[in-house]
Structure 1
């Protein structure tokens, strides 16, 4: 068991080191590193089946992401987001501080649906042209977007909160969300402060002044690009709202809904085969990158889980905390959630690690709902995990390397998690000890 745990940590750490130092691309590292360590673990011929099982597990998500990229690309080409961009531009102008603060404001509104993928697609589609026009660092957009979405994802229909409640069998709204709400609001305010800091930093770097020209300001008389479909904006808006409502209400599986919506959007906005082919070719690179990364990540998790490395890592991590620190397990769980959620998926953490921690904490009088809230503290750090599909999606849309984004953003993610922990302790949502 110890050997499997060491191999598991070696797999994850080697992968992280290689992509953060840019020695290998994410796709190559996701496929080759676990195969190498799987061979060392003696998995041998079974690796192929493990890889295919992992790929099969992520196939629905990969399908949804690929058609989501195409759908929102068509919406962007057709001009659905143009009014939102113009309104945002009018508010933020060319001031880097307003742009960074506007990123958090827009991200917090779009994140209400609890879907990180949708948030990334809409916010990046809206804000990236402004960042380019103002010449701001797109790393700031990636950082603020991920941190905002991580905090807003504590809503009851968000993935982490739902997993914590299901794993510990506690009430999602009354035991998790409501006690965390004050700390969640205060942490969101803290992210606005971080955006203000980024804005000041960019003002100095760009030598910005209030009298500077405003290159981002849209003109009403500017030439409309030929691919735009301004007359179809209300149809596109209704279709997008219907898609979001259908996904939230569970009318059909999300991948199926996204495929249907894309087919309708492409046919209505670009009825000729030539136009459809042009739109598909325009965005083929992003789709290929997202799908390749998703399948590679599925192969990675398939091997790590299939060889038993994942279970061994989970068991070994539980022995890190000495029994004398039992009364502090709630706050310690919050601290450990940062590296744990960075190194493993939410499913592995919430369904494999958290229940065992909660069972141990119960012997010290710590209620399960406290452990559930503590387990969410690491989500800002998790938002940059190399095992998270949204990281690759955002990096692909921004044309950035994942390792570069992690090097820039992780320090701010750790600070955000620590700030969230402080607010939970301050508001009484989390006990320091019992």
Structure 2
């Protein structure tokens, strides 16, 4: 095996092990491990710096999209846009002839809307406090709430400012919104699959003995402190602004980074009238944004060094040389079918930053379009994130729902695995039709 391939393999394995087992920050791992690998391979610090610079260039759009998308949807959540949308949905569900199925579908819809910002913790904080009283009153299994939320959030994980799509775009060196347009049809189908499975969960809860009656359901009170609740004009404006933002992204009227800059600036000025309040809110939302941005920049260093230094190409060539010719072109499909257990064992960082670049590189050696391979690896993995014990938000969810992570995995793994496997032929078909 080529020396670069050996060093590349050791580097990727070290990154995966350190991300999974060590207490080190992902930022430190993504930067220092590839630097040490490149030094071992004989590159000078000047050369490594040039590799990293190219890596920075490849992630600059992702950095802007990540920062301003999170800020935009944090503003929308803070002023109560999601509150106004979701509470009437829950009220209507509570009056349904079959409240069990209606409530669990309402929970899935609330989670879908809540995950527009791409942040799992935000989705949990929006969805669970609203829905848990209804599940308890109807004697529904809280694990069904966690699973239905996870299935729909899994499909929403494919929007361009979430980790899975953002990291995949970095691997490909493309705009995350451009990648999203390619997988959007598959995302729509997987949302439909998520709602179908949620309905099936509701029917199963009725058979299990849930109380399918509207009698005594808790009322839904609106928080009067929300700006969009107090003043209808603000709600109408923010909904119109959000629809305009999504339309601009889908139609490609402006590049995605500039689009979020413009729309976030408008949202900030309209919803927070004073300079002092605007500054206060930016500081309030900054910790989550900073963490995401630092990770993206660090991943840019990793990708720049490993790709520009020739490690990924050498490793891909080495794997190709030992793979049977009949298997090589389908490596990405094999990994896609293993996405659920791989996400559970590796977590998101090692899967997207460690495994995906290697698999995409291998498939490229056999003539498979890297975008096709990456898309097929992305969609089922996005669906599977909700089962990974290495994703902190999943532990927050389990804690609020009152069960252990292991209970959630045992309850939901068959459903998530089925959804992930359905996603593979769906994304294969839609990518070939629309890419």
TM-score with structure 1 setting the length: 0.66
Residue in structure 1 matched with residue 76 of structure 2 by the alignment: 75
Distance 2:310 2:317 in 1: 11
Residue in structure 2 matched with residue 131 of structure 1 by the alignment: 128
Q: CA deviation at 1:78?
A: 1.9
Compared CA separation, residues 355 and 125, structure 1 to 2 (3 A):
same
Pair 1:120 & 2:129 matched: no
Q: Once the two structures are superposed, what CA deviation does each residue of 1:33-86 show, in whole Å capped at 9, x if it has no partner? A: 222222222223122222232122212211121111111111222222222221
Q: CA deviation at 1:235?
A: 1.5
Alignment of 1:58-73 (within 5 A): 58-73=59-74
Residue in structure 1 matched with residue 58 of structure 2 by the alignment: 57
Residue in structure 2 matched with residue 299 of structure 1 by the alignment: 301
Alignment of 1:68-107 (within 5 A): 68-90=69-91, 101-102=105-106
Out of 278, 288, 291, the residue aligned to residue 290 of structure 2 is 288
Q: CA deviation at 1:346?
A: 11
Q: Which moved more, 1:37-46 or 1:127-136?
A: 127-136
Residue in structure 1 matched with residue 267 of structure 2 by the alignment: 265
Contact kept? 1:239, 1:261, Cα under 8 Å: yes
Distance 1:20 1:83 in 2: 39
Please give the secondary structure, in 1, of the residue aligned with 2:118.
helix
Alignment of 1:11-410 (within 5 A): 11-21=11-21, 23-45=23-45, 46-90=47-91, 101-102=105-106, 118=116, 120=118, 128-134=125-131, 140=147, 143-145=150-152, 147-149=154-156, 185=189, 191-192=194-195, 195=198, 217-219=219-221, 222-225=223-226, 230=231, 231-323=233-325, 325=326, 333-337=332-336, 342=351, 352-358=361-367, 376-383=375-382
Compared CA separation, residues 105 and 233, structure 1 to 2 (3 A):
closer
Please give the secondary structure, in 2, of the residue aligned with 1:383.
helix
Distance 1:152 1:291 in 2: 17
Compared CA separation, residues 421 and 134, structure 1 to 2 (3 A):
closer
Q: CA deviation at 1:265?
A: 1.3
Contact kept? 1:27, 1:293, Cα under 8 Å: yes
Compared CA separation, residues 56 and 152, structure 1 to 2 (3 A):
closer
Q: Matched residue pairs, number?
A: 379
Please give the secondary structure, in 2, of the residue aligned with 1:318.
helix
Please give the secondary structure, in 2, of the residue aligned with 1:283.
helix
Distance 2:332 2:44 in 1: 36
Q: Once the two structures are superposed, what CA deviation does each residue of 1:381-431 show, in whole Å capped at 9, x if it has no partner? A: 443899xxxx9xx9689979xxx99x9699876554434457899x9x99x
Contact kept? 1:147, 1:413, Cα under 8 Å: no
Please give the secondary structure, in 2, of the residue aligned with 1:233.
helix
**Which runs of no fewer than 5 residues in structure 2 stay unpaired?**
133-141, 175-180, 340-349, 398-404
Please give the secondary structure, in 2, of the residue aligned with 1:24.
coil
Contact kept? 1:229, 1:269, Cα under 8 Å: no
Q: CA deviation at 1:251?
A: 2.1
Please give the secondary structure, in 2, of the residue aligned with 1:378.
helix
Contact kept? 2:154, 2:382, Cα under 8 Å: yes
Contact kept? 1:80, 1:237, Cα under 8 Å: yes
**Which runs of no fewer than 5 residues in structure 1 stay unpaired?**
112-116, 167-172, 360-367
Q: CA deviation at 1:261?
A: 1.2
Compared CA separation, residues 410 and 344, structure 1 to 2 (3 A):
farther
Contact kept? 2:157, 2:382, Cα under 8 Å: yes
Q: Which moved more, 1:309-318 or 1:280-289?
A: 309-318
Distance 1:319 1:194 in 2: 42
Q: Which moved more, 1:94-103 or 1:28-37?
A: 94-103
Compared CA separation, residues 223 and 143, structure 1 to 2 (3 A):
closer
Contact kept? 1:100, 1:141, Cα under 8 Å: yes
Q: CA deviation at 1:219?
A: 2.1
Please give the secondary structure, in 1, of the residue aligned with 2:81.
coil
Q: Which moved more, 1:290-299 or 1:224-233?
A: 224-233
Please give the secondary structure, in 2, of the residue aligned with 1:32.
helix
